[in-house]
Structures are given as structure tokens and as C-alpha cells.
Amino acid sequence: MAATQSRTDAFEREPVALTERITSDGSSHWPAEPGRYRLVVARACPWANRSVIVRRLLGLEPVLSMGIAGPLHDERSWRFHNDPDNRDPVLGIEYLREAYEKAHPGFDAGVTVPTVVEIASGKAVTNNFQCLTLDFSTQWRAYHREGAPDLYPEQHRAEIDEINEAVYDDVNNGVYKAGFAKGQGSYEKAYRALFTRLDRLSERLATRRYLVGDTITEADVRLWTTLVRFDAVYHGHFKCNRQKLAEMPVLWAYARDLFQTPGFGDTIDFEQIKQHYYGVHAEINPTGIVPLGPDPRGWLTAHGREELGGRPFGDGTPPGPPPEAERVPAIA
């Protein structure tokens, strides 16, 4: 997901350019159809990470292939620099922008991940990251694996939506508001909103294993993709340094619980995360030096959250191992 700066000293995120949705009911130009699309992501990006997790949990790998951009990019957009010949092996493109320009010649807005690309035409279809994972749950239901969890249960949707809105404003986007602020006042406002929200979430999670109900939902996915990056990049790089995640006992245990749940930690590459943030944001880190720490082995320690009960996948089952080509390095 791209970061942009407003004319004031406060950070404002640029709206997504391609708001199309892929649906099963004919309400859009793009039907949910096996083999038609490729999901383009980057391991570094928290917004893309949501789609990777939900795709895994629901078992959509056989029907929706995934291209993985490398952690580095420039003004030309995300690049497939970890693939052979620096090109996506299915789409044949070097830069994700090429798919946007095929769809919209002369395209001059933000090129972001996740993006869904139609394979046959090579055209970018949508980068609507806020709706994409919800559509995986609701519009791609016919292609879910047997035992797939319900991540957006109808009876809890209002509560999930309310939590998601607050988490987006203060946490997911809040770390960026702090990190890219151009003035002390804007930074302090974002910093205070972030930690106030984290304190409230900690209170909520002190007595319950998951944010809504007794199973993993979309709300957990969205919060977790920020938490898992917190100590590695947001604490130092974005100056969100009241505490490390590892110093917030409830949230640290909650995050470790999910990290050790199939479909979460097995999507994370800490090295690519650090390479992206410290290597691309030259205005914040002009030297481009990538820190060696923190030690990721803490993510594998016992968390004790089982005592709160809950059923991670509800009446469903865990996903199997990720496909070989999509595996991330194990924590040594």
C-alpha cells in the first residue's frame, strides 16, 4: 500500500484508485472465477498481508494464484526483483505498474499491493484492500476449502465493522500517521491515538482470546498485521516508542497466539519487512541501513492464551501447509 503526504504536516493516505469488486452475484463486471485472476502482494506490506492470510485460511490457493513482489520499489512501483529475470512468472511483468497501465493507459495514481490482476488480459482489476478480504469470505464462498472458517460471520458483522474502523484509523493507519508526520503536533496526535487505542484493545483482550466472539475473525486479521510489524519497524522507524509490543503483556501474548496459528506466522518474512521499511523510506532513514534486530525467536515462546478458551477456527479446521513456492523462511 502506498503512503502519501497531504499539503499539511499530517499524513493522509491516498484513496485506492481501482475500486472494482470481484463478486459472485453479477453485481460487478468481474465474476469470482477459478484461475482467472492473480493476487499480487508483497511480504513487507501489512495491507497485502491481510489478503495473504485470508486466502490461506479459506483455502483459495488452488483457484487464486499469488504473485509476490519483492520488498524494494521505486517511483515506478512494486517490482518482482526476487523472481527469475526480475519478472512475475505468470504475468510476465517487471513492475506492477505495467498491469495498471494495461487497464488504464496513462495511469498516474498510486500503484499498491494487494492488487488483483486478470491473467489473460494482464490488466489490474482492483486494489480495493478494504473490501478484498471481505469479498474472499463472502463472494468466493463456493471455492472455500472444506473446513474453512467463517471469518466474517453475519451475526457479528456490525461489531467486526465497528472494531475494524477504529483499528484502521488509530492503529493500522495510525502508525503511518506518526511515522510520516511532518510536524510535532501531528506526530503527537497520532502517537497518543495509537497508544490509547492499543490500551483499549489490551483491556478487551485481557478476558477474551479473540476480538469478536470466540473464534478468529476478520477483525483479528486486520489488527494482527500491524502488531506483527510493531517491534521490527513501527517502534523505531515510525517513532511509536512508548512501549514495544513485547512490553505490552496482553497484546504480546495475543499476537504470539496468532503467530503460532497456521495461516498467520507462516506468512511472515521479517527480513523482507525490514528491508522494505528501512530501505524504501529514504526521507525517514536516509542511510538505508537495515537493523539486524529484534530477535524473532520470541514469537515462538509460550503465550498461555489457551486458558481463555475460544476455538481458533470455530467448527472448521486449520489450513494445511502453504504451497512450496509460497513458504517463508522459518525462524531459526
pLDDT in tens, the chain (332 residues): 544 444 468 998 888 889 999 999 988 999 999 999 999 999 999 999 999 999 999 999 999 999 999 999 988 899 999 999 999 999 999 999 999 999 999 999 999 999 999 999 999 999 999 999 999 999 999 999 999 999 999 999 999 999 999 999 999 999 999 999 999 999 999 999 999 999 999 999 999 999 999 999 999 999 999 999 999 999 999 999 999 999 999 999 999 999 999 999 999 999 999 999 999 999 999 999 999 999 999 999 999 999 999 999 999 999 999 999 999 999 98
Q: Which residues are annotated as a binding site?
A: 78
Residue 201's Cβ-side half-sphere holds a number of Cα atoms within 13 Å equal to 31
Contact 104, 312 (CB under 8 A): no
In this structure, the answer to whether residues 282 and 177 fall within a common structural domain is yes
**CATH for 95:** 3.40.30.10
What cell numbers appear for 69 in the block? 513482489
In this structure, the answer to whether residues 246 and 182 fall within a common structural domain is yes
pLDDT of residue 4: 47
pTM here is: 0.96
In this structure, the answer to whether residues 162 and 135 fall within a common structural domain is no
In this structure, the answer to whether residues 178 and 238 fall within a common structural domain is yes
Strand segments (E) across the chain: 22-23, 30-31, 37-42, 65-69, 73-74, 77-78, 115-118, 123-126
In this structure, the answer to whether residues 95 and 201 fall within a common structural domain is no
pLDDT of residue 13: 86
In this structure, the answer to whether residues 82 and 185 fall within a common structural domain is no
pLDDT of residue 16: 86
pLDDT of residue 6: 45
User: CA–CA separation, 43 vs 26, rounded Å?
Assistant: 32
User: CA–CA separation, 282 vs 271, rounded Å?
Assistant: 18
User: CA–CA separation, 185 vs 175, rounded Å?
Assistant: 15
**CATH for 171:** 1.20.1050.10
Tell me the residue range of the domain where 246 lies. Answer: 154-326
List residues with catalytic annotation.
Answer: 45, 176
56 in a domain, yes or no? yes
pLDDT of residue 75: 85
Domain boundary among 123, 143, 163: 143
Q: Which residues are annotated as a binding site for glutathione?
A: 78
In this structure, the answer to whether residues 91 and 192 fall within a common structural domain is no
Into how many domains does the chain fold? 2
